[in-house]
Amino acid sequence: TSQACAACKFQRRKCPVDCPLAPYFPAEANQRFLSCKRLFGVSNMLRFLRDADPADKEETMKSLIYEAEVRDKDPVHGCYGIISQLTERVRGLQRELELTRS
Amino acid sequence: TSQACAACKFQRRKCPVDCPLAPYFPAEANQRFLSCKRLFGVSNMLRFLRDADPADKEETMKSLIYEAEVRDKDPVHGCYGIISQLTERVRGLQRELELTRS
């Protein structure tokens, strides 16, 4: 069963055995692929993947996918929104800790 | 003085009076433009800007610029790296707070 990955399916081409995107976008991960395509574009993703050290390729793609999915949910703030919230949370907990200690 | 913005300068074209990228990439913000171009591409940025509600345009561009600059510093993890660290920090502070209270 050589089902095309979501990226090749979208580009309506045969999915080669060594398709660099297939490990990250299996046929059923169509929505994930579309999010990434929308935010970065296919050629950008391929470049990031190519430029990454072999040991870093998976982490690089995971973080790009994460960013794209967050941007899908919050097109205005993306990851910046999550980082702002977490930073506020850290400040709040630090204040609480100081108060509890004194 | 009608200096071209960093985006138009890069594309070697005259910067129109209503250039949508000029407010975010003044001539001296060349590095910021290159980071965004690398991660998203110019046409993607223009699309995000066009699709955003007028009231959200500035926040949208600010968060895209933030994401691109973080990715420049950490090409493997990008914003995901910062979010992981902050999440760890929140967990650590919560543990500390519980210990201090008990």
Q: Would you call A53 exposed, middle or buried from its count of C-beta atoms within 10 A (0-12, 13-18, 19+)?
A: exposed
Condensed to tens digits (0 to 9), the pLDDT of residues A37-91 reads 999 999 999 999 999 999 999 999 999 999 999 999 999 999 999 999 999 999 9
Condensed to tens digits (0 to 9), the pLDDT of residues A8-51 reads 999 999 999 999 999 999 999 999 999 999 999 999 999 999 99
Residue B3: pLDDT band by 50, 70, 90 thresholds?
confident
Task: Please report whether residue A84 resides in a domain.
Answer: no
**Interface residue of B64, B76, B102 to substitute, partner A, most A CBs within 10 Å:** B76
Give CA–CA dist A73/A86, Å, rounded. 17
What are the chain B neighbours of A63 within 8 Å (beta carbons)? Answer: 76-81
Condensed to tens digits (0 to 9), the pLDDT of residues B41-56 reads 999 999 999 999 999 9
Task: Please report whether residue A60 resides in a domain.
Answer: yes
SS3 annotation, A29-82 = CHHHHHHHHHHCCHHHHHHHHHHCCHHHHHHHHHHHHHHHHHHHHCCCCHHHHH
Task: Please report whether residue A89 resides in a domain.
Answer: no
Task: Please check whether residue B31 touches A, CB under 8 A.
Answer: no
Q: What integer best gives the mean pLDDT of chain B?
A: 95
Domain of A38 in residue numbering reads as 6-76
Task: Please report whether residue A62 resides in a domain.
Answer: yes
Give CA–CA dist A67/A71, Å, rounded. 6
Given this model, what pLDDT does residue A102 score?
86
Q: Say if the Cβ atoms of A76 and B97 lie within 8 Å.
A: no
Task: Please report whether residue B62 resides in a domain.
Answer: yes
Number of structural domains, chain A?
A: 1
| Other beta carbons within 10 Å of A55 | 8
Distance between A21 CA and the closest CA of chain B, angstroms: 16
Q: Percentage of chain B with pLDDT > 90?
A: 95
Task: Please report whether residue A91 resides in a domain.
Answer: no
Radius of gyration of chain B (CA): 19
Task: Please report whether residue A96 resides in a domain.
Answer: no
Task: Please report whether residue A22 resides in a domain.
Answer: yes
A76: nearest Cα among B2, B40, B85, B54: B54
Letter for the amino acid at A12? R
A83: nearest Cα among B86, B61, B72: B86
Residue A59 CA to its chain's centroid (Å): 10
